[in-house]
Amino acid sequence: MPIRQLTETLIDQIAAGEVVERPASVVKELVENALDAGARRIEIVTAGGGKSLIRITDDGCGIPLAELPLAVRRHCTSKMEGGLQGIETLGFRGEALPSIGSVARLSLRSRARGADGAHEILVHGGRQDGPRPAALSGGTAIEVRDLFHAVPARLKFLKSDRAESAAITEVVRRIAIAFPGVRFELTGEDRSPLVLPAVEEAQALERVSAIVGDSFADNAFALDAGREGVFLAGHAGLPSFHRGTAQHQYVYVNGRPVRDRLILSAIRGAYADVMPRDRHPVCVLFLQVDPRDVDVNVHPAKADVRFRDPGLVRGLVVGAIRAELARLSLRGSTEGAE
Ligand code: ADP
Ligand code: MG
């Protein structure tokens, strides 16, 4: 067969395979967009484990009418002012909306601040329809229906509605820890609701407790350390407060939830001497790194990062946790001696 250029729709569907693996990845991308838009309230409604419906409403800056067609076009983004060095937003690839539009029925309704009214654009099978006037008082409302109806092979690999709903809840919980000032509401016929009211920055531990569990705050120590421009804050659980899986380790780099092997292994290393090998500590770690010293463009899902100086990051995490553990055991032994 001769070599041919793929159609736009096929290119989007191929890209979609990496960006939207399951309903939870759609929720992650859309919540990230709302946060990048400066939203203070984000409402998420799902049905059928997110396969039949995902609806996300935010009160962010909205999208101007003239930009609506661009928002759903591949490689179009408002977030790449400074190039790949120095990304400060959660999104930057300009792929999520077109990818979703290629594998689902997407409706994007938005009203930019100061605009006369709202407009809606539809994308179905990669084809755009609109924009046309619509009703919305402000912000953006996105509806994704019949996810993967266009790619039955992917649909077959999804888990039960219940499992997909649980994965969506986990995505929202994970991201919500890093944005305590934003109100999140996740509801739907297929789930028990998750409502996280906004809390002040100073009360950020309340948001953590709402997600990790109330007992965490009483069984954790605070972290606050820095080395050569890398800063670590957050809370780590006492050695006695352990879990059967590492699922309760929440790690953020510049506010972005990540699953970073380097940091997870640093956590394991820090607790190696004080916890049974098959148990896992609970922790919420926020790393701040100069955006130029971390590459977030490793995988389309943006959950992997590469540090310019991995040894520095590992040393900081291990050192900070161990120093606190040592202080606690010292205090424990002097208290015991009294
Ligand atoms: P990216 O987030 O990488 O830029 P997306 O495909 O997720 O790519 O979104 C494309 C563009 O659409 C964004 O750059 C942004 O300008 C706009 N956009 C998407 N969602 C929202 C939203 N909820 N509020 C405001 N603008 C949005
Ligand atoms: Mg995005």
Q: Specify the residue with its C-alpha closest to ligand 1, atom 7.
A: 96
**Does 132 lie in the same domain as 244?**
no
Dihedral (C-alpha) 114, 41, 22, 160: value to the nearest 10 degrees? -140
Ligand 1 atom with the smallest distance to the CA of 97 is: 6
Q: Which residue puts its alpha carbon closest to atom 12 of ligand 1?
A: 71
Q: CA 240 to CA 178: how far, in whole Å?
A: 25
Tell me: do 41 and 89 sit in the same domain. Answer: yes
CA atoms of 261 and 258, how far apart (whole Å)? 9
What values do phi and psi take at 10, rounded to 5?
Answer: -65, -40
- Mean of pLDDT values over 194-214: 91
**SS3 of 161-228:** HHHHHHHHHHHHHHHHHCCCCCEEEEEECCCCCEEECCCCHHHHHHHHHHHHCHHHHHCEEEEEEEEC
pTM of the model as a whole: 0.93
pLDDT of residue 334: 67
Average pLDDT, the chain: 91
| Segment 91-111 mean pLDDT | 91
Which atom number of ligand 1 is nearest to the Cα of residue 108? Answer: 20
Residue type, 117: G
Cβ-contact 270, 321 below 8 angstroms: yes
Question: Quick one: which of 212, 211, 206, 201 has its CA closest to 237?
Answer: 212
Q: CA-CA distance, 302 to 16, in Å (whole number)?
A: 14
Q: Do 183 and 226 fall within a single domain? A: no
| For residue 338, pLDDT beyond 50 | no
What is the 3 state secondary structure string of 38-74?
Answer: CCCEEEEEEEHHHCCEEEEEECCCCCCHHHHHHHCCC
Which residues neighbour 331 within 8 Å (Cβ) at sequence distance 6 or greater? none
Q: Let me know if residue 204 belongs to a domain.
A: no
The conformation of residue 82, written as its DSSP 8-state character, comes to: T
CA distance 291 to 281: 28
Q: To test ligand 1's pocket by mutation, which of 20, 36, 41 has the most ligand atoms within 8 angstroms of CB? A: 36
User: 271 and 162, same structural domain?
Assistant: no
Instruction: Say if 208 falls within a structural domain.
Output: no
pLDDT band at residue 335 under the 50/70/90 scheme = low
Q: Please state, in angstroms and rounded to a whole number, the distance separating the CA atoms of residues 296 and 303.
A: 8
Co-location of 238 and 268 in the same domain: yes
Lowest mean pLDDT among 14-18, 203-207, 253-257, 324-328: 14-18
Q: What is the pLDDT of residues 27-41, one digit of tens each?
A: 999 999 999 999 999
| Structural domains in the chain (count) | 2
pLDDT at position 244 over 80: yes
Higher-confidence residue of 222 and 201: namely 222
Closest ligand to the CA of 110: 1
Q: Which pLDDT score is estimated for 18?
A: 78
With the C-alpha atoms ordered 101, 108, 143, 297, is the resulting torsion angle positive or negative?
A: positive
Residues 79 and 141 in one domain: yes
The two tokens of residue 160 are 């039960």
| ipTM of this complex | 0.99
- The ligand with the least distance to the CA atom of 35 is 1
Judge if the beta carbon of residue 288 lies within 6 A of ligand 1.
no
Query: Domain for residue 3, yes or no?
Result: no
Question: Residue 99: nearest ligand to its CA?
Answer: 1
Ligand 1 touching residue 209 (CB < 6 A): no
Domain boundaries, position 39: 8-196
Would 2 be classed as within a structural domain? no
